[in-house]
Copies of this chain bind each other. A is one copy, B any other.
Amino acid sequence: MLNPNAPTSDTAPQDALLRPASERRDPIPMKIDAFKVACSSCNLRELCLPVGLSQPQLTQLDTLVGARKSVKRGDALFHTGDSFKSVYAVRTGFFKTRISSEDGRDQVTGFQMAGELLGLDGISTDRHACDAIALEDSQVCVIPYSQLEELSREFSDLQHQFHKIMSREIVRDHGVMLLLGSMRAEERLAAFLLNLTQRLHARGFSASALVLRMTREEIGSYLGLKLETVSRTFSKFQDEGLLEVKQRDIRITDEPGLKALVNSVRC
């Protein structure tokens, strides 16, 4: 199979959306304005902000999500210090967020895929607190924040869903702290791969094969490891029969083995 991130047959609700933008063909828009986004007809609505909303609420939400924005691979959706106006929902593509310390070290704080929100850090100071960089040509839905607040005052379902998303980010961050604070390299990488595949699976992709959109260095930055350690750990996993690794193409050949790594203390 050419694309190992191809959707599995059982769950493939939005395959088209997860291919590179160049391959994608939009469904006929429900509105006349072809550049207008419609959450109500979006294949990601079960993963994104609209989760749990009724049809009339969705129609309202459509009025809020103003436009799509394309971001080329390597370009930033926003930078640290940019004034905060909107949050963004990833529609297609893949992002990383990173923060930098004064002395130039930086830390990747997350990888975002279709249906996930970017920019929540900006609410606290009205300025973005990280850089969001596209790891492949991507498209996001622009959600003007003041309008989101407004609409979520009207619809408690939307309000609650938004709070859930923020809370989920906090819980995720605490999980990463546990990983960074107490796991060894193998456990970190195993946890990372299982997290990625689990999220891809929720989007209709294979749970056992994936194409990494990020470099070893970016993985290392996220996991608090050097790129050489990431590379060596991949090789080790391959030697042990847990994975097949061909550069960025990964196939998980022993998922229970990987899971055991994450849950076990040492050895």
Chain B proximity mask over A101-130: 1 for CB below 8 Å, otherwise 0: 111111101000000000011111100011
Q: Is the CB of A181 within 8 A of B224?
A: yes
Q: Is the CB of A109 within 8 A of B156?
A: no
Q: Is the CB of A99 within 8 A of B174?
A: yes
Q: Is the CB of A167 within 8 A of B120?
A: yes
Q: Is the CB of A99 within 8 A of B175?
A: yes
Chain B proximity mask over A135-175: 1 for CB below 8 Å, otherwise 0: 00000000000000110111010011001111111110111
**Other-chain residue from B170, B221, B265 in contact with A121 (beta carbon distance below 8 A):** B170
Known: A101-B178, A182-B224, A224-B181. A170 touches B107 (CB 8 A): no
**Other-chain residue from B125, B167, B180, B264 in contact with A123 (beta carbon distance below 8 A):** B167
Residue on B nearest A84 in the bound complex, by CB:
B167
Bound-state CA distance A124–B167 (Å) is 5
Residue on B nearest A126 in the bound complex, by CB:
B164
